[in-house]
Amino acid sequence: MPPVSAAPTPTAHPEASGSAWAPLRIAAFRSLWLAVLASNVGTWMQTVGAQWLLVDQPNAPTLVSLVQTASMLPVLLLALPAGALADTLDRRRLLIGVQSFLAAVGVLLTALTAADRMPPALLLTLTFALGVGQALTLPAWQAVIPELVPREQIVSAAALGSVSVNLARSVGPAVAGVLVAQAGVAVVFAVNAVSFAIFALVLLRWRPERRAADATPERFTAALRAGGRYVRHSPVVRRILLRAGLFVVPGSALWALLPLVASRRLGLGSGGYGLLLAALGVGAVAGALVLPRIRRSISSSQLLAVAGVVYAGVLLILALVPVPALATAALVPAGLAWMTVMSTINAAMQLFLPGWVRARGLSVYQMVFAGGQALGALAWGALGELTSLVVALGVAAVVMAGCALTVPLWPLRDTRGVNRDPAIYWPEPHLTPERAPGAGPVLVTVSYTVAPERHDAFVEAMRAVGRSRRRTGAVRWGLFRAGERANGFVEVYQVPSWEEHLRQHGGRLTGADQAIEDRARALAEEPVRVNHLLPTGDED
């Protein structure tokens, strides 16, 4: 088969950009999306098989919930390192290596289950290993998406990502239920191993446009710290993460307890459980069709509030109405609500994060998402075991409704019109003598002169400049009054190394950072003087 090539600058007809399916017209995105869909189907089949192996064990509510915890906990633990790897290594090669590892774990699961050598502890351990692979896959794949589709299609691409996950939830469990009943859990695990192999083969065929290699590749530990600093000093990213956590923690109750709702409350077997998950998938696919129209009528924050209230209502129905037909029907809007929130938050992250830190920022989002699901699943499972499924689902419904009501207090920030393209506008620094890239720390001082009537406005504008400096590399920042000059101000910030400061000069700043700095400098008088101070003894 010919290789799948990424178009250098993927474009779409203007009328297609608003279509939910527009990104699928791009060959590279379409091939990889289908491969991810196959992998997601296999993953959900494996989850259903693992949970069904544990349903009849002692302490089943805790053990069944621990399947989700074992899957998601690695993302919580490894998200930021995985993001740093995806931002510093070749993403295609990283993904191929990880899928090969996952296929090997899937083969081991299959062989041990077929030989009846799969106690709960070993099952959870190997599930954790699969979670490690998923933790390494997620940020790399998410960071690739903006390279495959034009910016105006990122929202649609994010929605298609949610469709992939939820379509897998509808197909995977249904197929798993049939296979468990007809052939056993080992066959389900074998299909999952094959799905990873399919993803690896498609990645081998993919030939992305090669990016210019960085003359000095970012060191792993420095990349970790830079990613953490960016998230810590970005109010927009922190707000997105807050909204994700406030939905996922109560929302995880449905996914964690649904197998027990199916078997104990509704009296369904594995096929019935697959049907319940299929209803969630149908809702998600329906959401992809109607969301573009809905987005034209209400804001993203309003969407989150409505979706939270709908989801809370479904949790309440599951708690109070033990009727299979009604529960199945109620899960359709739950799937739509889940898909709405996840695609909205994911798209907000992808649109806002600059390219140099995209995988690290997305990995922190995945950490919040997976951590909320893992810890939430454990908490709801424990509550269900201590009390009852009805109480656990009812409490989750109340918590979800309360979180939805916080949207007016903590809405998503409006970033429309914010320029996220790289901006190289600082002049090239020249030191005498030249310093090694690792020399540091570097202290940068910027001296301003500001008219008295502009002092307050300048100080306020510089607060945003300080956040920009810290997002892009500064570990300390301050603004001081010059004692010898009545109208003098001195900005001082420290960067860990000369190499890190050169990265600020060479592509970490965006058009939004430039606008922030321009607003502050417009309040000052020329000239603005910049000095770079380095420790003694670092000369070449």
DSSP class of 266: S
Residue 7 has pLDDT above 70, yes or no: no
Q: Model confidence at 248, in pLDDT bands (50, 70, 90)?
A: very high
Give residue 2's pLDDT.
Answer: 34
Residue type, 533: L
d(CA 314, CA 337): 10
Mark out the alpha helices in 55-90 (DSSP H runs): 60-88
Q: Is the pLDDT of residue 18 over 70?
A: no
pLDDT for the residue numbered 540: 46
State the alpha helices, DSSP H only, in 412-527.
455-472, 498-503, 511-521
Q: What is the DSSP secondary-structure string of 143-170?
A: HHHHHHS-GGGHHHHHHHHHHHHHHHHH
DSSP line for 13-48: -HHHHTSTTGGGGSHHHHHHHHHHHHHHHHHHHHHH
Distances 441 to 47, 214, 309, 476 between C-alpha atoms, Å: 48, 22, 50, 11
6 or 45, higher pLDDT: 45
- Cα gap 15→416, rounded to integer Å: 20
13 vs 140: which has the higher pLDDT: 140
Q: How far is CA 116 from the centre of its chain?
A: 37
Most confident of 41-50, 291-300, 362-371, 518-527: 518-527
Question: Which two three-digit tokens encode residue 105?
Answer: 């774990």
**CB under 8 Å to 35, separation ≥6 — which residues?**
198, 199, 201, 202, 203
Please tell me the predicted confidence (pLDDT) of residue 155. 77
Within 8 A by CB and 6+ apart from 487, the residues are 449, 450, 451, 452, 455
Going by pLDDT thresholds of 50, 70 and 90, the confidence category of residue 9 is very low
Tell me what the mean pLDDT of segment 233-240 comes to. Answer: 94
User: Residue 56 pLDDT > 80, yes or no?
Assistant: no
- Mean per-residue pLDDT of the chain: 85
pLDDT tens-digit series, residues 501-511: 888 888 889 99
Find out whether 346 and 319 touch, Cβ atoms under 8 Å: no
Q: Inform me whether the pLDDT recorded for 179 exceeds 70.
A: yes
As a whole number, mean pLDDT of residues 493-502 equals: 90
**392-396-397-401 Cα dihedral, nearest 10 degrees:** 160
Q: Give the span between the Cα atoms of 351 and 140, in whole angstroms.
A: 16
pLDDT at residue 210, rounded to an integer: 64
Closest CA to 113 of 53, 175, 66, 45: 53
Q: Choose between 294 and 303: higher pLDDT.
A: 303
The answer to whether 133 touches 140, Cβ cutoff 8 Å, is: no
Residue 115 makes CB contacts below 8 A (sequence gap 6+) with none
> Of 11 and 191, which is predicted with more confidence?
191
| The pLDDT of residue 230 | 92
Query: What's the pLDDT at 212?
Result: 52
d(C-alpha 238, C-alpha 361), whole Å = 10
Name the DSSP letter for residue 261: I
- CA distance linking residue 213 with residue 319, whole number of Å: 55
- pLDDT value of position 462: 96
User: Residue-wise over 280-309: b if at least 16 C-beta within 10 A, else e?
Assistant: bbbbbbbbbeebbeebeeeebbebbbbbbe
Residue with tokens 């929302």: 251
With beta carbons less than 8 A apart as the criterion, state whether 243 and 368 touch.
no
Residue 338's nearest CA partner among 456, 525, 161 is 161
Listed residue (292, 315, 295, 316) closest to 304, CA to CA: 295
Nearest CA-CA partner of 279 in 337, 327, 328: 328
116: left (phi over 0), alpha (psi -120 to 50) or beta: left
The mean pLDDT value for 271-297 works out to 81
Alpha-carbon gap, residue 118 to 110, rounded angstroms: 10
The pLDDT tens digits of the residues spanning 101-123 come to 999 999 999 999 888 888 888 99
The larger pLDDT score, comparing residue 470 to residue 65, is at 470
DSSP designation for 524: S
Percent of the chain beyond pLDDT 70? 92
pLDDT exceeds cutoff 90 at 402: yes
Position 323 pLDDT exceeds 50:
yes
Q: Which of 204-218, 295-309, 488-502 has the lowest mean pLDDT?
A: 204-218
Q: What is the pLDDT of residue 216?
A: 63
Q: Over 70: is that where the pLDDT of 185 sits?
A: yes
For the stretch 421-464, pLDDT in tens is 888 888 888 777 676 767 779 999 999 999 999 999 999 999 99
pLDDT at 20 over 80: no
